[in-house]
């Protein structure tokens, strides 16, 4: 019999889970909170870039230099990484690629971004695989809603 793992791990159904799984989920939650607290302490006050916040809210394409290379991206999620850095998860749709991979979501460190601006074009929606609760981030400032595709 195939089980729906999402339903089994949803918080409202925790009472149906065996004790060892509930305890494991609670330990994971506590550990995540510790990582978040440490990351936020190391970062200090994040700058919360208004251009990025606005671009995510209005689904605007961004342009910037990343490590000196031009990037054109569709921003998906913006927040604090588990390493305590401000980061942008974005789908690269143009420009130069150091990894050789275009058109996929990447994590960009804001410390390496310069010449940030809106490109003047909009995009339709988040990537089909977009997760608003990005596991690489301990705090999310802005994110697109999950894609309905």
pLDDT of residue 7: 39
- 18 plus 37 within the same structural domain: yes
Residue 134 lies in a domain: yes
Helix (H) or strand (E) segment spanning residue 23: helix 19-43
Q: How far apart are the first and last CA of the chain?
A: 28
The boundaries of the domain holding residue 87 are 50-143
- 13 plus 54 within the same structural domain: no
- 26 plus 68 within the same structural domain: no
- 92 plus 138 within the same structural domain: yes
Residue pair 73/62 in contact (Cβ under 8 Å)? The answer is yes
Q: What's the rounded Cα separation, in Å, for the pair 66 and 88?
A: 12
Global model pTM greater than 0.85: no
What percent of the chain is modeled with pLDDT above 70? 77
- 22 plus 95 within the same structural domain: no
pLDDT of residue 149: 60
Condensed to tens digits (0 to 9), the pLDDT of residues 45-67 reads 667 899 999 999 999 999 999 99
- 33 plus 61 within the same structural domain: no
Residue 65 lies in a domain: yes
Q: 68 CB contacts (<8 Å, ≥6 apart)? A: none
Q: What is the CATH number of the domain that holds 57?
A: 2.30.30
Beta bridge partners of 22: none
pLDDT of residue 56: 97
Distances (CA, A) of 74 to 3, 15, 49: 35, 40, 16
The total number of structural domains that make up the chain? 2
pLDDT of residue 40: 63
Residue 148 lies in a domain: no
User: What parts of the chain have a pLDDT lower than 50?
Assistant: 1-10
């Amino acid at each position: 019999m195939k089980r729906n793992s999402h339903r089994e791990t949803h918080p409202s159904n925790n009472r149906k889970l065996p004790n060892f799984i509930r305890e494991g989920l609670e330990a994971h939650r506590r550990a995540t909170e510790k990582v978040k607290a440490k990351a936020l302490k190391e970062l200090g006050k994040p700058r919360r870039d208004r251009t990025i916040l606005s671009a995510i809210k209005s689904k605007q394409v961004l342009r910037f230099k990343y490590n000196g290379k031009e990037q054109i991206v569709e921003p998906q999620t913006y927040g604090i990484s588990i390493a305590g850095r401000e980061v942008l998860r974005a789908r690269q749709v143009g420009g130069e690629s150091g990894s050789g991979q275009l058109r996929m979501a990447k994590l960009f460190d804001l410390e390496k971004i310069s010449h940030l601006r809106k490109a003047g074009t909009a995009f339709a929606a988040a990537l089909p695989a977009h997760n608003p609760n990005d596991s690489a981030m301990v705090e999310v400032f802005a994110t697109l809603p999950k894609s309905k595709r």
